Amino acid sequence: MIELAGNAVAVTGAASGIGRALAQQLAQRGCDLALADVDEVGLKSVSDELIRAGRVNVLARRVDVANAAQVHEFAREAILSFPKLCVVINNAGVALQGQFEELDLAQIQWLMGINFWGVVHGTHAFLPHLQRQSWAHIVNISSIFGIIGPPGNCAYAAS
Protein backbone atom coordinates (compact mmCIF):
# COMPACT_ATOMS: atom_id res chain seq x y z
CA MET A 1 0.00 0.00 0.00
CA ILE A 2 1.12 3.52 -0.75
CA GLU A 3 1.33 5.88 2.20
CA LEU A 4 -0.91 8.81 1.31
CA ALA A 5 -0.51 10.83 4.53
CA GLY A 6 1.44 14.01 3.97
CA ASN A 7 0.76 14.07 0.24
CA ALA A 8 -1.91 15.89 -1.73
CA VAL A 9 -4.67 14.69 -4.02
CA ALA A 10 -6.76 16.58 -6.59
CA VAL A 11 -10.39 15.44 -6.97
CA THR A 12 -12.87 16.69 -9.57
CA GLY A 13 -16.58 16.34 -8.97
CA ALA A 14 -15.86 16.68 -5.25
CA ALA A 15 -19.11 18.39 -4.17
CA SER A 16 -21.22 15.25 -3.96
CA GLY A 17 -21.43 11.51 -4.43
CA ILE A 18 -18.24 9.57 -5.06
CA GLY A 19 -16.11 12.72 -5.17
CA ARG A 20 -17.28 13.91 -1.78
CA ALA A 21 -16.78 10.45 -0.26
CA LEU A 22 -13.29 10.29 -1.75
CA ALA A 23 -12.43 13.71 -0.28
CA GLN A 24 -13.65 12.61 3.15
CA GLN A 25 -11.72 9.32 3.05
CA LEU A 26 -8.54 10.98 1.75
CA ALA A 27 -8.73 13.61 4.49
CA GLN A 28 -9.01 10.82 7.07
CA ARG A 29 -5.82 9.36 5.59
CA GLY A 30 -4.02 12.69 6.07
CA CYS A 31 -4.04 14.02 2.49
CA ASP A 32 -4.20 17.68 1.64
CA LEU A 33 -6.88 18.20 -0.98
CA ALA A 34 -7.44 20.25 -4.10
CA LEU A 35 -11.17 19.97 -4.78
CA ALA A 36 -13.03 21.04 -7.91
CA ASP A 37 -16.69 21.10 -8.90
CA VAL A 38 -19.23 23.35 -10.65
CA ASP A 39 -21.54 23.04 -7.64
CA GLU A 40 -20.23 25.90 -5.49
CA VAL A 41 -22.67 25.27 -2.63
CA GLY A 42 -21.79 21.58 -2.36
CA LEU A 43 -18.09 22.32 -2.77
CA LYS A 44 -18.17 24.89 0.04
CA SER A 45 -20.03 22.41 2.23
CA VAL A 46 -17.48 19.61 1.82
CA SER A 47 -14.55 22.04 2.06
CA ASP A 48 -15.90 23.58 5.28
CA GLU A 49 -16.53 20.12 6.74
CA LEU A 50 -12.96 19.02 6.04
CA ILE A 51 -11.44 22.26 7.32
CA ARG A 52 -13.52 22.05 10.54
CA ALA A 53 -12.15 18.55 11.10
CA GLY A 54 -8.78 20.30 11.14
CA ARG A 55 -6.65 17.51 9.78
CA VAL A 56 -5.77 18.75 6.30
CA ASN A 57 -5.40 21.79 4.07
CA VAL A 58 -8.06 22.25 1.41
CA LEU A 59 -8.10 24.25 -1.81
CA ALA A 60 -11.62 24.36 -3.27
CA ARG A 61 -12.33 25.91 -6.69
CA ARG A 62 -15.35 26.15 -8.95
CA VAL A 63 -14.18 24.42 -12.12
CA ASP A 64 -16.06 23.34 -15.22
CA VAL A 65 -13.96 20.37 -16.34
CA ALA A 66 -15.25 20.78 -19.89
CA ASN A 67 -13.32 24.08 -20.00
CA ALA A 68 -9.61 23.39 -20.58
CA ALA A 69 -8.52 26.83 -19.37
CA GLN A 70 -10.37 26.41 -16.07
CA VAL A 71 -8.86 22.96 -15.51
CA HIS A 72 -5.34 24.21 -16.28
CA GLU A 73 -5.80 27.15 -13.87
CA PHE A 74 -7.04 24.75 -11.20
CA ALA A 75 -4.01 22.50 -11.76
CA ARG A 76 -1.66 25.50 -11.53
CA GLU A 77 -3.22 26.63 -8.23
CA ALA A 78 -3.31 23.10 -6.83
CA ILE A 79 0.35 22.47 -7.63
CA LEU A 80 1.42 25.85 -6.20
CA SER A 81 -0.58 25.15 -3.04
CA PHE A 82 0.54 21.53 -2.74
CA PRO A 83 3.92 20.81 -4.37
CA LYS A 84 3.66 17.19 -3.12
CA LEU A 85 0.44 16.61 -5.09
CA CYS A 86 0.84 13.09 -6.42
CA VAL A 87 -2.66 11.79 -7.18
CA VAL A 88 -5.31 13.17 -9.52
CA ILE A 89 -8.78 11.67 -9.48
CA ASN A 90 -10.81 12.59 -12.57
CA ASN A 91 -14.21 11.91 -11.04
CA ALA A 92 -16.54 14.60 -12.41
CA GLY A 93 -19.31 13.07 -14.47
CA VAL A 94 -22.91 13.44 -15.54
CA ALA A 95 -25.58 11.16 -17.00
CA LEU A 96 -28.04 11.71 -19.80
CA GLN A 97 -30.69 9.17 -20.64
CA GLY A 98 -32.61 8.85 -23.85
CA GLN A 99 -32.65 7.08 -27.15
CA PHE A 100 -30.26 8.57 -29.70
CA GLU A 101 -33.05 10.17 -31.72
CA GLU A 102 -34.40 11.84 -28.56
CA LEU A 103 -31.15 13.68 -27.84
CA ASP A 104 -30.00 16.82 -29.56
CA LEU A 105 -26.35 17.45 -30.34
CA ALA A 106 -26.03 20.16 -27.68
CA GLN A 107 -26.99 17.64 -24.98
CA ILE A 108 -24.47 15.09 -26.25
CA GLN A 109 -21.74 17.76 -26.52
CA TRP A 110 -22.46 18.85 -22.92
CA LEU A 111 -22.13 15.28 -21.66
CA MET A 112 -18.98 14.56 -23.68
CA GLY A 113 -17.46 17.85 -22.49
CA ILE A 114 -17.66 16.67 -18.91
CA ASN A 115 -17.31 12.90 -19.07
CA PHE A 116 -14.73 12.62 -21.87
CA TRP A 117 -13.00 15.97 -22.24
CA GLY A 118 -12.96 16.54 -18.48
CA VAL A 119 -10.74 13.49 -18.09
CA VAL A 120 -8.55 14.58 -21.00
CA HIS A 121 -8.21 18.13 -19.63
CA GLY A 122 -7.46 16.90 -16.10
CA THR A 123 -4.84 14.45 -17.29
CA HIS A 124 -3.24 16.97 -19.64
CA ALA A 125 -3.12 19.69 -16.98
CA PHE A 126 -1.59 17.61 -14.19
CA LEU A 127 0.57 15.06 -16.05
CA PRO A 128 3.76 17.16 -16.39
CA HIS A 129 3.80 17.75 -12.62
CA LEU A 130 2.98 14.12 -11.82
CA GLN A 131 5.81 12.88 -14.04
CA ARG A 132 8.29 14.81 -11.86
CA GLN A 133 7.13 13.09 -8.65
CA SER A 134 8.84 10.02 -7.22
CA TRP A 135 5.48 8.27 -7.52
CA ALA A 136 2.11 9.41 -8.81
CA HIS A 137 -1.24 8.13 -9.98
CA ILE A 138 -4.08 9.28 -12.20
CA VAL A 139 -7.42 7.68 -11.39
CA ASN A 140 -10.23 7.99 -13.94
CA ILE A 141 -13.62 7.07 -12.52
CA SER A 142 -16.02 5.31 -14.86
CA SER A 143 -19.20 3.32 -14.57
CA ILE A 144 -20.04 -0.14 -15.80
CA PHE A 145 -21.68 1.61 -18.76
CA GLY A 146 -18.17 2.16 -20.09
CA ILE A 147 -18.16 -1.59 -20.73
CA ILE A 148 -21.79 -2.27 -21.62
CA GLY A 149 -24.23 0.02 -23.39
CA PRO A 150 -27.78 -0.56 -22.16
CA PRO A 151 -30.73 0.85 -24.10
CA GLY A 152 -31.48 4.50 -23.42
CA ASN A 153 -27.90 5.32 -22.40
CA CYS A 154 -26.15 5.72 -25.76
CA ALA A 155 -24.48 9.10 -25.07
CA TYR A 156 -23.49 8.17 -21.51
CA ALA A 157 -22.04 4.80 -22.57
CA ALA A 158 -20.15 6.46 -25.43
CA SER A 159 -18.58 8.94 -23.01
Q: Which residues are catalytic?
A: 156
| Ramachandran area for residue 109 (φ above 0: left; ψ -120 to 50: alpha; else beta) | alpha
**Residue 142 · residue 95 · CB < 8 Å:** no
**Whether 29 contacts 4, CB under 8 Å:** yes
Alpha carbon separation from 50 to 54, 82, 126, 131 (Å, rounded): 7, 16, 23, 28
Query: Which of 119, 121, 131, 47 is closest to 86 using CA atoms?
Result: 131
Buried b / exposed e over 67-94, threshold 16 CB at 10 Å, is: bbebbbebbeebbeebeebbbbbbbbbe
Note whether 43 and 32 are within 8 A (CB).
no
